[in-house]
Amino acid sequence: MQAKAVKAIEARLPLFAGFSAHSWAFAVRVWLACLLALYSSFWLQLEVPSSAAITVAILALPTRGQGLEKAGFRLFATAIGVAASIGIAGFFSQTDGLLLAVLGVWVGLCVCATAMLDGNRAYAAALSCITVALITIQQIDSPQQVFPTGVARGAALAIGVLAVALINDVLAAPDYHPVVTNRLEALQRQIMSYAATVLRGETLPASLAAGILKDVAALRPEIASLRTESSSGAARSSAARSAMVDLVTALYLARALASLSTAAMPASVSLDRDERRSNLLTTCRSWLEGELVRRNAEVESSLDALRNGTHPAVRRRAPLYRSGRIAVENGFRASICFTLIAALFVMAGWPTTEVALSLVAVIIGLGATAPDPRKFTAIAILATPISCLLAGILKYFVFNGVSEFPLLAIGLAPVVIGLALLISLPNPLLSSLGRLSLVFTLAILAPTNPQSYDPLVFVITCTLACLAALLTFAAQVLVPPLSGKRRLQLLLTEVRGKRGGLRDRPGRRLSPEETAFREATRVQQIVAASSALAQGQCAVGEAMNDFDRSIALKRCDAELDRLKDGQLAEAADIGRAALARRDAGLLLATAGELRRAATQRNLSAEAACAALVLASVTFGPSTSAAGSIGARKS
Amino acid sequence: MTHTYQELVLDGVLVAPIVSYAVTALLLFLLLRPLLHLAGFAKLFSNPSLAELSLYVSMFGLLALFF
């Protein structure tokens, strides 16, 4: 009811110049934070006040929690970047080519780390590369200035972060948890509708389930940002995480019910046991239905905890699937791109090219956090001339020699508010263009006290900025970033390679629900990589089959583990041996034996029995085909 | 009598007292957050984030005044 009321109020909010009141409020907050950051920096006589304003532009996010989380990672990554800068400048400052090679390796390492992480953690890895670029590369001829430059940058960043936090708090920037709650509720409805369709006996395409898994897994980085929102943030984040992980399990259970309906009998088992097998399948089905109801109730309970700001009844982790090979290839390619451009600048021997080289590292670093780095560079090519034009108009037509702060505030208003409105648009292309243009405009304008109006410096800066974007694009044409096809190939190779067994990271035992979520993040990556490819449907089908198999294995393993110390330990060992052989017929026979043993001892082993039957169905001959075919009515 | 501030020295690098007070207050505030959650602090205010900011500023001010 409350959500409906909020939506109704939002629908009634007036639009001004095509933007909602929320967008205008966000844009005004960005402008005020920008002014506060600049004013404080001027007052404290910081060396690079523009860095404080750029920090505000980078942290310009519509909700408070997201901005604060990004701010925390920004400060952390800056500290790492400054430490790396001091190390690199200290050890390699007199080594010419070797210094550039080391910088290339650092860029590669950071891009590699970016590919292994998600959300603001990935941004922090990229920022470690950017910080080194802005400190070490810009001070390449004066390494003794690396430490003071690092301190100046750190101070400006801290001012920018404080300005954003203060303005967001004072002007009551909206919370993010209602948005996350709405999205989780919508996904819950979608999954329950999927389950209802399955229970009616209809078969749904694998791509539909993969799409839902992608949407659920996409919430992972956003849920992490709830932690910083308020004192209840940690509880809300935990509740949302539990709901998200349970949603994946609910979808798996619905798929398991579907595979049970379409399961063919294993040919190796004789026909005289048909009735017993049918009983086992019925037991498994009723257990799955009960589990689905229970899981839905847990999701409801977690969503209630999220709304009330309390901890959930069951706390779950949300592990991320990381592909080491994709990360290494990404890092290697980024390193080559950077080294190629650095070598070109060295051969050209132009003065002040360190500015362009540092911008190249910035574009490569930020591009690594985008889904398609080459598209990001293309946006950067578009954003740099726009920013040069805006900065030029501001500098030579609007300000034109003035140095009073109120005039700076008024002059910046249309540009900052306009670009912040662009950031608030739902279109990712326009939003990225707005953010990049705002950051580059502030970087090229470089507000200082007193303001510099040297046209030669301005023209050189603009030329080098445009050149850097163009050269990065050219280098990425020569050494293209990892294509969707290659990413898919690597992911599928890993899928096929791990079929030998269950793999938990040493020292980190995952529950079946957490394993299911990790597999969902892999499906998410496969769906993203295959979105524009002809063979995408087949790949998604294969990924979903592997998703079902991995979870069936894990669940069966967990259920048999529970029996290992009781009277059914012997039967559980036989079950485990059958599981290791992945033999559908043997698994079904073992389930029957286990049930008989449990009945004789007057014990309940329904869950283990059902898990064995489910594993038998999953490893049976029919499901591999059932997953990838299109929608059909049974 | 004028209050004197001690500079923090990290391996020869002098850190301004205001920075050490801000960081200490932040750490204390982060430690205090679970207690605030238990006490239902967020439910007492219409703008909880502003209340939390005010609490942080108060802690920062008290640290600067008494230490």
Nearest chain B CA: its distance from A425 CA (Å): 26
The tokens describing B59, both together, are 């802690």
The reply to whether A69 touches chain B by the CB within 8 Å rule is no
Question: Residue holding tokens 């919430």?
Answer: A219
Whether residues B49 and A166 touch (CB distance < 8 A) is answered with no
Whether residues A169 and B33 touch (CB distance < 8 A) is answered with no
Decide if A107 is inside a domain: yes
Nearest chain B CA: its distance from A68 CA (Å): 12
The domain tally of chain B equals 1
Spatial separation of the C-alpha atoms in residues A493 and A498, rounded to whole Å? 9
At A368, phi and psi to the nearest 5?
-65, -25
Q: How many CB pairs under 8 A join A and B?
A: 36
> A35-65: buried (b, 16+ CB within 10 Å) or exposed (e) per residue?
bbbbbbbbeeebebbbbbbbbbbbbbbbbbb
Whether residue A40 contacts residue A405, with contact meaning beta carbons closer than 8 Å, is answered with: no
Give the other-Cβ count within 10 Å of B34's Cβ.
12
Decide if A56 is inside a domain: yes
Integer-rounded Cα radius of gyration of chain B: 15
A327-353 pLDDT, tens digit per residue, is 999 999 999 999 999 999 888 888 778
B11-62 pLDDT, tens digit per residue, is 788 888 888 999 999 999 999 998 998 898 888 888 888 899 899 999 999 9
Please give the pLDDT value at position A421: 95
Decide if A250 is inside a domain: no
Whether residues A234 and B48 touch (CB distance < 8 A) is answered with no
At B9, phi and psi to the nearest 5?
-115, 115
Whether residues B49 and A232 touch (CB distance < 8 A) is answered with no
Mean pLDDT of all residues belonging to chain A: 87
Chain A residues whose CB is inside 8 A of the B59 CB are none
Decide if B2 is inside a domain: no
Tell me the residue range of the domain where B53 lies: 8-66
Who has greater pLDDT, A441 or A139? A441
Whether residues B48 and A231 touch (CB distance < 8 A) is answered with yes
Q: What is the mean pLDDT of residues A225-254?
A: 93
Decide if B35 is inside a domain: yes
Residue of A170, A172, A231 with shortest CB distance to B37: A231
Residue of A169, A170, A232 with shortest CB distance to B42: A232
Decide if A423 is inside a domain: yes
Mutate to test the interface with A, among B21, B23, B31, B49 (most CBs of A within 10 A): B49
Question: Residue holding tokens 């391996």?
Answer: B11
Decide if B55 is inside a domain: yes
Percent of chain A, pLDDT > 90?
Answer: 51
Decide if B38 is inside a domain: yes
Decide if A618 is inside a domain: no
Whether residue A243 contacts residue A219, with contact meaning beta carbons closer than 8 Å, is answered with: no
The conformation of residue B42, written as its DSSP 8-state character, comes to G
Spatial separation of the C-alpha atoms in residues A289 and A524, rounded to whole Å? 26
Tell me the residue range of the domain where A72 lies: 18-174+323-478
A571-621 pLDDT, tens digit per residue, is 888 888 888 888 888 888 888 888 888 888 888 788 888 898 888 888 876
Decide if A148 is inside a domain: yes
Whether residues A166 and B41 touch (CB distance < 8 A) is answered with no
Decide if B36 is inside a domain: yes
Given a cut of 90, whether residue A237 has pLDDT beyond it is yes
Whether residues A231 and B42 touch (CB distance < 8 A) is answered with yes
Whether residue A248 contacts residue A315, with contact meaning beta carbons closer than 8 Å, is answered with: no
The reply to whether A168 touches chain B by the CB within 8 Å rule is yes
Question: Residue holding tokens 């069966």?
Answer: A556
A38-91 pLDDT, tens digit per residue, is 999 999 999 889 999 999 999 998 888 888 899 999 999 999 999 999 999 888
The DSSP-derived string for A526-541 is: HHHHHTT-TTHHHHHH
A546-575 pLDDT, tens digit per residue, is 999 999 999 998 988 888 887 888 888 888
Please give the pLDDT value at position A453: 87
Mutate to test the interface with A, among B10, B27, B37 (most CBs of A within 10 A): B37
Whether residues B42 and A234 touch (CB distance < 8 A) is answered with no
Decide if B3 is inside a domain: no
Whether residues B53 and A169 touch (CB distance < 8 A) is answered with yes
Whether residues A230 and B52 touch (CB distance < 8 A) is answered with yes
Residue A15: its H or E element: strand A15-16
The domain tally of chain A equals 1
Indicate the angle between helix axes B48-66 and B17-38, nearest 10 degrees. Answer: 130
Whether residues B49 and A234 touch (CB distance < 8 A) is answered with no
Decide if B23 is inside a domain: yes
Spatial separation of the C-alpha atoms in residues A402 and A115, rounded to whole Å? 45
Chain B residues whose CB is inside 8 A of the A231 CB are 33-34, 36-37, 41-42, 48, 52
Who has greater pLDDT, A509 or A502? A509
Chain A residues whose CB is inside 8 A of the B52 CB are 169, 230-231
- The tally of CA atoms less than 13 A away on the side-chain side of residue B15 is 12
Whether residues B52 and A231 touch (CB distance < 8 A) is answered with yes
Closest Cα in chain A to B49: A169
The conformation of residue A203, written as its DSSP 8-state character, comes to E
Residue of A64, A170, A232 with shortest CB distance to B37: A232
Nearest chain B CA: its distance from A319 CA (Å): 24
